[in-house]
């Protein structure tokens, strides 16, 4: 029972981290486009 919950919590943490990394990559790409466009 405890192991099952630990697995679920672990998976959701990994998903959050991956989602945050994705958002950060998109944000960086957007910033690069803005910098290039402003030159």
pLDDT tens for residues 3-37? 777 777 788 999 999 999 999 999 999 999 999 99
- pLDDT the model gives residue 10: 82
Residue 21, both tokens: 């990394």
pTM of the predicted protein model: 0.62
The DSSP secondary structure of 1-39, one letter per residue, reads: -HHHHHHHHHHHHHHHHHHHHHHHHHHHHHHHHHHHHH-
Q: For residues 26 and 37, what is the distance between their CA atoms, to the nearest angstrom?
A: 16
- pLDDT the model gives residue 9: 79
- pLDDT the model gives residue 16: 95
- pLDDT the model gives residue 33: 93
């Amino acid at each position: 029972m405890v192991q099952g919950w630990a697995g679920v919590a672990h998976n959701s943490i990994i998903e959050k981290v991956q989602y945050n990394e994705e958002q950060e990559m998109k944000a960086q790409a957007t910033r690069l486009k803005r910098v290039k466009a402003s030159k």
